Chains A and B, each alone.
Chain A
Amino acid sequence: MNPQSKREENAKLLSGNEAIAYGAMEAGVAFCTSYPGTPSTEIMETLMVNAEAFALYTEWSTNEKVALEASAGASWMGIPSICSMKSLGLNVAADFLLNLNLSGSGPGGLVIVVCDDPRGHSSSNEQDSRFYAKAAKLPLIEPTDCQEAKDVMPFAFELSRRHQIPIIVRSTTRLSHSRGLVRLGDIEKHKIQANPSIPDNLFNVPNPHIKHKDLDEKLGDVLREFENSEFNSCSEEDGSNLIIIASGIGYRYAMEAIEILGINSTRVVKIVTTYPLPEKIIQDWWNGNKKILFIEEIDPFVEEQVLAIFAEFEWLNSVKEPVEFYGKRNGFVPFYGELNTDIVVDSIAKVLDIQMPFRDDVGNARKEAKDLLIERPLTFCAGCTHRNVYYAIKRVKHRLKDKIIVAGDIGCYSLGVFYDQTMDTMQAMGSGIGVATGLGQLQRFDQDNKILAVAGDSTFYHSCIPGLINARHKNADLTFLILDNSTTAMTGFQEHPGSATQSKNSKIVSIAKIVKAIEPDLFEEVNSEEIDSLIDSIHRAVDQPGLKVLHLKGICRLEAARSESIIRKVEIDTGNCKGSTCKICVSDFGCTGLRWINEDDRPEIVDHICIHCGACISVCPNNAIRREEGIR
């Protein structure tokens, strides 16, 4: 390849998420809400960076339901609105979504962006959020690359305004977090004025079924638009009797797979408007081919719709010969996990029963090398105060002969599941305290474990308050630990109602005051930097009956590292150290700032990782870890 020595004009290297944000801005969005969650976070972050330049209102809302409600409100008053979230966020917002669909969005237009995470790289589950589009009967758009991620946004906003319903745009990790050249259009800075009054009938009672009927009519109009949409496309046919119907990033994999297999002219149908599925073009482009293969991320969403369409074709006698369908339903494409080009190559080869073109040129070496690899388990950062808390819980657990159940929650502290499985459960945001309110009622069934629930600060605001109120109201017997590091650390330090520094016009909402208002039997604030007092406080609280809440004040070292450099170093006193007869510091506590040296039978401080917090000093029973002498 020779360089062409010229950059394409107006083309910027953007991630799928950034492209979505730029597309929204080109469409004239003015009101933006979200709650952070990988892989969706960068959409809002990009909007926030541009907020001042283009007069956008942006907020990290308390949770996704609130975010969607806020943006619906703005849309009703004529302000173009976007609400972005990760897959699990749509579960939180779903209650409102399945009312908003019937009520309709307003004259401003409303686009909901949901980012799924196949394989759950950064998620507690694997879910296909497209079924929400079907459940809510709302139009769904799935871009296939970064350029399209930008291009679909103005279309989505126009569609929303035309039909007065929210539009869902779905991305997946591999699109959100890949980067490509995106040709940008102009973004106008315009002053948008809210309408003087709110539209009529923004409620579904007394006849929600009639609203349902109206929605179906709107969806029929959208379907006709989708059948003429130029985002959907189809390559020329080669007579191989196979067509591939692909959506999302799966389309890129399919295109590359046919090139690798040397069957470049296989017909590939690209569907961007995946719900309601444009039946007519499917029928036209199918054109009598015998085999149909579906490539899409997570569940057989398009696949099942096409099957339903074909059931009707058959009924109408338009299908002469039986068609063979290949996809996730019959295992020709894996029905779980994330796709890639190689998987799609294998699927096509299986369908066509052709020999694999890939021959491994290194033979056994691959397997031998694999045996040499060691894992890199996820762990807390060096000096993270969450480790201190879990270490303290482990100590208390030990004292109580393991008679503790820890109901966990979502955040950095979820890593507690990898810390000797100190956390026993982990599901949705806020479900730690929720599950604990149930466990805390089981004494009447002779349950005799102590019940502990943990949650972080951002999670507390997001979803823990109803659970905590339930615990108080029903007198559940449990201890609730709030691991507060004053930031949304997991997703990159987004502001929340308790953040130490707040943006203009934001006011701190105190966790302590909320908890005190609920009147637990015990409320205590504890410094998570001090392990001994952590152990004592947790032990005391657990031993006492009733609802106990400990507010554990910690520090996110990643965030701290951005603003300060800390004090005197920590060192090992090799004389006091008892070597591998003890080894508590690395085996039990396990901070990444400490490393075991087998030859010396002693630990060592890893200089470039240790952040000098000194938490390990109190962990060592032999006083072998201490502060270096010197001036602070």
Chain B
Amino acid sequence: MSEYNILIAGVGGQGNLLLGRVLADAAADDGYRPVIGETFGASRRGGTVYTHLRIAKSDLGPLIPRGRLDLLVGLEPLEALRASVKFAGLNTTAIVAIEPVQSTISQSGEVDYPDVKTIIDHLRKLCGRVEPINTKEILQTIGTYRVLNTLILGIISEMEITPLRRETIQSSLDKTIGFRGLNKEAFLAGVEVVVKSNKI
């Protein structure tokens, strides 16, 4: 069976679900039969959120089985690692926003949020390829953290390893929340990240 599996890992409020829906819509526009599994529970209150996006020509179940993760999208480092422990393998490429979102217990000083560099080191052992993205720097230039998801969309749209095409992702973004203003700016900044790095 030919399939491409994407897992988006983050915490509530990062625009995870929207990101998954835009990508799935783009896949549908290209004639695939995407399936999304959303796991969020009471996520608004600080918990982990995963979106499983499975792209194939026939219907698949909503959850990615072990060993079949192609692209891991980490919206923050700790959740990227948590998802990797469960789902990643040497066939997995990970793109990871390196700006942490604190947990309540790290925020209160009860425990330390793990060192980001150490997290990336561990990710490299779990995934075939890891591309850390300095999202903080880019988003500071744009002036808001709220467009993290469209920045990531821009990155994915320009990556060659996915079956998704930039035009369809962009038009799907336009249909969903509008391709304009800060979202357009962030999307294009994401495209730029890939063009510049010349390797993702």
**A513 vs chain B, min Cβ distance (A):** 32
Cβ–Cβ < 8 Å partners of A53 in chain B: none
- For the complex, is A574 an interface residue (Cβ under 8 Å from B)? no
Contact between chains at A375 and B32 (CB < 8 Å): no
Q: Given contacts A3-B30, A378-B46, A596-B107, could you give 16 more A-B pairs where the C-beta distance is less than 8 Å?
A: A1-B32, A121-B41, A121-B42, A179-B38, A255-B61, A256-B65, A341-B61, A342-B66, A365-B122, A372-B114, A372-B119, A372-B122, A374-B78, A377-B104, A412-B45, A598-B109
Cβ–Cβ < 8 Å partners of B123 in chain A: 369
Contact between chains at A377 and B88 (CB < 8 Å): no
Cβ–Cβ < 8 Å partners of A490 in chain B: 42
B94-126: contact bitstring with A at CB < 8 Å (1 yes, 0 no)?
000000001111111111111000110011011
- The CA-CA distance from A141 to B123 in the complex, in Å, is 44
Interface residues of A in 593-612 (CB under 8 A from B): 594-598, 606, 608
**A58 vs chain B, min Cβ distance (A):** 24
Closest to B62 in A: A178
- For the complex, is B84 an interface residue (Cβ under 8 Å from A)? yes
Closest to B163 in A: A1
B interface, how many residues as a size bin? Answer: 35 or more
How many contacting A-B pairs (Cβ < 8 A)?
194
Contact with A368, one of B25, B66, B122 (Cβ below 8 angstroms): B122
Cβ–Cβ < 8 Å partners of B32 in chain A: 1, 3-4
**A130 vs chain B, min Cβ distance (A):** 21
Q: Which residues of B contact A (CB under 8 A)?
A: 1-4, 11, 21, 24-25, 28-42, 44-48, 55-57, 59-63, 65-67, 78, 81-82, 84-85, 88-90, 102-114, 118-119, 122-123, 125-126, 145, 163, 165, 168
Contact between chains at A341 and B104 (CB < 8 Å): no
- The CA-CA distance from A277 to B197 in the complex, in Å, is 59
Contact between chains at A345 and B65 (CB < 8 Å): yes
Closest to B88 in A: A362
Interface residues of A in 3-42 (CB under 8 A from B): 3-8, 11, 13, 15, 38
- For the complex, is A305 an interface residue (Cβ under 8 Å from B)? no
Contact between chains at B109 and A379 (CB < 8 Å): no
Cβ–Cβ < 8 Å partners of B42 in chain A: 121-122, 378, 490
Cβ–Cβ < 8 Å partners of B33 in chain A: 8, 180-181
Contact with B163, one of A3, A180, A415, A592 (Cβ below 8 angstroms): A3
Contact with A379, one of B37, B45, B55 (Cβ below 8 angstroms): B45
20 contacts between A and B (CB under 8 A): A2-B163, A8-B28, A11-B28, A15-B38, A174-B63, A178-B37, A179-B62, A180-B33, A180-B59, A340-B65, A342-B65, A361-B90, A369-B85, A372-B122, A374-B106, A374-B112, A374-B113, A381-B44, A583-B109, A592-B107
Contact with A252, one of B60, B88, B90 (Cβ below 8 angstroms): B60
Given contacts A362-B88, A365-B125, A608-B145, contact A372 B81 (CB under 8 A): yes
**A347 vs chain B, min Cβ distance (A):** 13
**A605 vs chain B, min Cβ distance (A):** 11
